[in-house]
Homo-oligomer: A and B are copies of this chain.
Amino acid sequence: MTVEVYRGIDELRSALASVRSAGRPIGLVPTMGALHRGHGSLISRSAAELRPENGLTVVSVFVNPIQFEDRTDLERYPRTLDADRRLCEEAGADIIFAPTAREIYPDGFSSFVDMEGEFTQKLCGRARPGHFRGVLTVVCKLFHIVGPTRAYFGEKDAQQLFLLKKMAYDLDMDIRIVGCPTVRETDGLALSSRNARLAPQERAAAGCLIRALKEGQSASEDRLPGTAGTARAERAASVRASLIAAVEGEPSARLDYAELLDAETFGPVTDETGRVLLAVAAFFGETRLIDNVIADVGSGGKRDESR
């Protein structure tokens, strides 16, 4: 199957007009390119879900300048369109939308989607001011350009997924936001386009993130004698301390944050919390990596496998 690449908004819209007027659904996988098997899993899922309805999968490949607060990070972000195209074909995509920055942000551009609320100021929202405004704005634009029925995002970017679902709900976007499980290397490292930048020693060290998270997940879910009655907030604080210690114990890692939050509200863990998000970010050399897992603390320690 050949994937068509479109550079312009009007051109893409024309290509999609007949699909839409025929009532066929459209799946959108927004990416910044440098695609890996994690993206591949989103594309395959879209292709599989939409095929029975004769739908079509669009992958957008756009390194979105307004979500980078760090110009060097933006410039160093890998760009690999030829390889991306092959991966899209193999995973079952129909169309790649790969616009220029000028096509998306013409001169004088000044409209943004912004979100208030404490949950925007935590985790990556605190570490990267303005980042989520950039993400919400470009995804809103992509939604308007492509008009998808469903849009697929990875659970690795847990806060992004939370905020995108909230944007879609708050602004009445008639689009189903689908979160997909994080794809990992054999040592558990979450796939990320940024992994390619890691020096061998940094790559080896990066495994500490998922090891720390898995330990924290078990500790959160365990009903140890004497801890059964411990308030969840208190246990979360203790798990957080171990998470921090585990990442800081790795000499090549520099911790950015380690947090436990209520996975449903992105507020603090309380006795009402059923699912806890354990989230961590750390630098390995110049490269910042993030990862997260969910611990089920609300139903006898059994993990919720439906996520």
Query: What are the interface flags for A261-279 relative to B under an 8 Å C-beta threshold, 1 for contact and 0 otherwise?
Result: 0000000000000000000
Contact of A109 among B111, B114, B170 (CB under 8 A): B170
Residues of A109-147 whose CB lies within 8 A of B: 109-117, 120, 136-137, 140-141, 144-145, 147
Interface residues of A (CB under 8 A from B): 9, 13, 21, 23, 108-117, 120, 136-137, 140-141, 144-145, 147, 166-167, 170-174
| A-side interface mostly | mixed
Choose among B111, B114, B120, B172 the residue that contacts A144 (Cβ–Cβ < 8 A).
B172
Say yes or no: A144-B171 contact (C-beta < 8 A), given A166-B110, A166-B111.
Answer: yes
Smallest CB-CB separation from A109: which chain B residue?
A: B170
Q: Is the CB of A112 within 8 A of B114?
A: yes
Residues in B neighbouring A13, C-beta threshold 8 A: 174
Among residues of B, the one whose C-beta sits closest to the C-beta of A118 is: B110
- Chain B residue contacts of A109, Cβ below 8 A: 170
Docked CA distance A9–B172 (Å): 9
CB-contact partner of A110 in B9, B21, B110, B115, under 8 A: B115
Nearest-Cβ distance from residue A64 to partner chain B, whole angstroms: 14
Q: How far is the CA of A141 from the CA of B249 in the complex (A)?
A: 48
A21: chain B residues at CB < 8 Å are 23
- Residues on B with beta carbons closer than 8 Å to the beta carbon of A171: 111, 113, 137, 140-141, 144
A45 to chain B, nearest CB (A): 25
- Give, as a whole number of angstroms, the nearest-CB distance from A283 to chain B: 30
A57 nearest CB across to chain B (Å): 20
B contact residues around A167 at 8 Å (CB):
111
Shortest Cβ distance from residue A205 to the other chain B in the assembled complex, whole angstroms: 38
Residues on B with C-beta less than 8 A from A166 are: 110-111
Residue of B nearest to A145 (CB): B172
Nearest CB of B to A9, in Å:
6
Distance (whole angstroms) from the CB of A121 to the closest CB of chain B: 12
- In the complex formed, the residue of B with least CB distance to A21 is B23
What are 30 inter-chain pairs, A to B, with CB distance below 8 A? Answer: A9-B172, A13-B174, A108-B117, A109-B170, A110-B116, A110-B117, A110-B120, A110-B170, A111-B113, A111-B115, A111-B136, A111-B166, A111-B167, A111-B170, A111-B171, A112-B113, A112-B114, A112-B115, A112-B116, A113-B113, A113-B171, A114-B114, A137-B171, A140-B171, A141-B171, A144-B171, A144-B173, A144-B174, A145-B172, A147-B174
